[in-house]
Every structure is written in C-alpha cells, then in structure tokens.
Amino acid sequence: MLMPANPIGRALRGRRAGQHTLVWARPELSAPEGFALTSPAFEHNGAIPEEFRGKVFGPNVSPAIEWTEPPADTIELVLIVQDPDVPFGKAATHALAVGIDPALGGIPENGLANPSPVKGLVFGKGAFGKLGWMGPMPPRSHGPHAYVFQLFALDRPLSLAEGFALEDALHAMDGHVIARARLDGIYESV
C-alpha cells in the first residue's frame, strides 16, 4: 500500500547535514584507503534492503559486512555507520563499535545486535543513545539517505568501556588511523 506523501519530509528535502559532517571527513582521521569494505546485502551506492530497516520496536537486523586484509600492523578495527542526510545538525550515528579483530574478515548478519555474537566487539552510543545497530529510519518523503559504513584500521587498541560516546572514540583514534575503508548504502522511506 502506497502511503501519502509526508508534508514535513517534503518540506525538509533541501535540508541535509552533509558529507562534511561524517567522521570520514575529519582531517585528523584521514588515512589511505588501504583495504576494501563490502556487503553481500548491497553494492556500494546501492539500495539497502528493507529487511535491514530500523524499527522503533522489534529487531534491528544489521547487514553482514566483509573486508579485505587491512595493513599488517593493524591491531584493531573501528566501525562507524552514519547518515549524513539527516535534516538538522550533524550526521546521525547508526552504529559505533570498537574492539573488532581485523583477522575476522567480516561481521555476520545481525552481528551488530546488542549483545553482539562477535567476540571482543564493544559498542558506543549511537542514535538516541542506543548501543548496537539502529537501522535506517529516514523521514518519509525526505528523499534518499546515504548510510556510510566507515571502517578504520588502528595501530593500537582503544580499550574503551561499553557505552562510550563518539567523541571518546574519535579522541582515542586521533593519530592512530593507518588505513580506512568505506561502503555507502542508500535507503529511502517513501
């Protein structure tokens, strides 16, 4: 059933936080794209399937992600998933995880659930203070939103306690990012 257009979403179509608000855009976290990030669920710049949509109540199922081998001196990976197309402020964080073992080669579907089945993974606070995956939930009729999966290879462990803030992670990462990879997915609520 097709829903009628959301007048608020339509009115805010021209308002976007912007790519410059992503963690990826921070100069202090810049590094070579020394490995690749992919998902069996969607292509880079492709549509994120409905099954990974966010839910206010019920499960938020995260898509599987896979990465190629990062640089040999990588100790830990950090995953930050953000939506830079929110209508106000800065990019919304939909997942924030540290302590990822680079040798894993990926995180399985729903591996970003809280608690995670992935050993060693530690969640920080994302959208609405939630730990774990918070799937796409853009305002209906606002247009397509990018969900940017940003994976950072670090030369040291961060050792952050569960529930850390994004700024805590960014401060701890500063000067320790040796490579990074990115995967963009698109989702639109019509």
Q: If pLDDT is split at 50, 70 and 90, which confidence band does 146 have?
A: very high
Residue 1 counted as domain residue: no
pLDDT at 21: 97
Q: In what order do the strands lie in the sheet with 177-187?
A: 46-47, 177-187, 145-154, 76-83, 92-100, 122-123
User: What's the CA gap between 111 and 98, in Å, rounded?
Assistant: 13
pLDDT at 162: 97
What are the angstrom distances between the C-alpha of 105 and each of 8, 47, 62, 108, 128?
Answer: 41, 23, 16, 10, 29
Is residue 148 within 8 A of residue 22, CB to CB? The reply is yes
For residue 163, pLDDT beyond 60: yes
Other Cβ atoms less than 10 A from the Cβ of 125: the count is: 16
Structural domain range at position 46: 7-187
- Determine the 3-state secondary structure of 93 from DSSP: strand
Q: What percent of the chain has pLDDT over 70?
A: 92
| 3-62 confidence digits (pLDDT tens) | 677 665 555 566 787 999 999 999 999 999 999 999 999 999 999 999 999 876 667 899
Residue 109 counted as domain residue: yes
Closest CA to 87 of 11, 155, 156: 11
User: What's the CA gap between 115 and 131, in Å, rounded?
Assistant: 9
Residue 127 counted as domain residue: yes
pLDDT at 12: 54
Among the residue ranges 48-57, 66-75, 149-158, the one predicted with the least confidence is 48-57
| 85-141 confidence digits (pLDDT tens) | 999 889 999 999 999 999 999 999 999 999 999 999 999 999 889 999 999 988 877
Structural domains of the chain, count: 1
Residue 164 counted as domain residue: yes
Is residue 60 within 8 A of residue 73, CB to CB? The reply is no
User: Got the DSSP string for 136-188?
Assistant: --PPTTS--EEEEEEEEEESS---PPTTB-HHHHHHHHTT-EEEEEEEEEEE-
Cα torsion 54, 55, 58, 64 to 10°: value is -10
Q: If pLDDT is split at 50, 70 and 90, which confidence band does 149 have?
A: very high
pLDDT at 10: 57
Residue 2 counted as domain residue: no
| 20-34 confidence digits (pLDDT tens) | 999 999 999 999 999
pLDDT at 16: 80
Closest CA to 20 of 135, 140, 146: 146
pLDDT at 48: 96
**Domain containing residue 90: CATH number:** 3.90.280.10
